[in-house]
Homo-oligomer: A and B are copies of this chain.
Amino acid sequence: MSTNPTTITTEPGTPFIDIERVVDAAPATVFRAYTEPDLVEQWLGPRSLSMKVEEFDARQGGSYRYVNTDDEGNTYGFRGVFHSVDKDERIIQTFEFDGAPGLVAIETATFEDLGDGRTRVRAHSVFPSVEARDGMAESGMEVGVNEGYERLDELVAKLDA
């Protein structure tokens, strides 16, 4: 099991969130985990929430929507569209939380091939205001990010086995 660190950067006074993580799998495997709905469903988000991908059409102009549900039955829905999907290299998509309608972020995920079956994932998110970014950064998202990447490690290990 990988124990690569995850770096989350939220510079004060900016609308940006930057996440960096090395994954012990080749870019093609990581790209599959980011674009195939049945794989996305297995890793995205924290362990404590159930995850249902309702739509995930990872191509330019495609839409996605997924819903997290907690133990008490509260649901958290997220949706967006794909601006561009460059195989094994980069995905640019919008992101909107049902609980903050109209506050739409744009995210760029890049997959850098480090060789030896390792990939550096960089995720750059831009929010429509500093306040919207702060709201996301203070929502406890680091739990979901860290647990999500742990689950991604588990998934890519299985895919590459």
Q: Is A118 an interface residue (CB 8 A)?
A: no
A85-128 contact mask (Cβ, 8 Å, vs B): 1 or 0: 00000101010100000101110100000000000000010111
A14 CB to nearest chain B CB (Å): 8
Closest to A62 in B: B61
The A contact surface, by secondary structure, is strand
A124 CB to nearest chain B CB (Å): 6
Complex interface residues of chain A between 25 and 47 (CB less than 8 A to chain B): none
Task: Pick the 10 closest A-B CB pairs, nearest first.
Answer: A106-B106, A83-B94, A61-B63, A81-B81, A61-B81, A92-B104, A81-B83, A61-B61, A126-B126, A83-B104
